[in-house]
Amino acid sequence: MVFIDPANVEGFDATNLNFVGKVLTDKELNFPTIKAALMGMWGNPRGVAISEVARNKVLVSFRDHHKGMEMMKRGPWSIKGHLLNLQIWIGRESIYDVAHNFMHL
């Protein structure tokens, strides 16, 4: 098992609202496609950092907590026809261990 130090994740700030997102597909989507799709769907908001974590998995960090919760509530989101599962992440567990087998709708 590999643990990631939240302080070393680009875009992570414990004071931000952080989500771990996973595109639910067996097909690999490249990170620039995922990032561009999210930023486009969300209207290119300021104060958002999106970092690649693993295959089809990203860290999304919102400086504005209200804006982050608004994006969560406006979902579910899809990228190229595949569901994006977003989970709030506060850094207590490995980013790789965040469960993506449920969604709050």
pTM over 0.75: yes
Confidence grade of residue 12 (pLDDT, cut at 50, 70, 90): low
- Asked if residue 7 belongs to a domain, the reply is no
Q: What is the CATH number of the domain that holds 64?
A: 3.30.70.330
pLDDT in tens, 21-64: 999 999 999 999 999 999 999 999 999 999 999 999 999 999 99
| Residue 25, CB-side half-sphere exposure with 13 Å CA sphere | 14
The answer as to whether 50 is a domain residue is yes
**Which domain, by its residues, includes 88?**
12-97
Structural domain count of the chain: 1
pLDDT score of 3: 43
Residue scoring higher pLDDT (11 or 37): 37
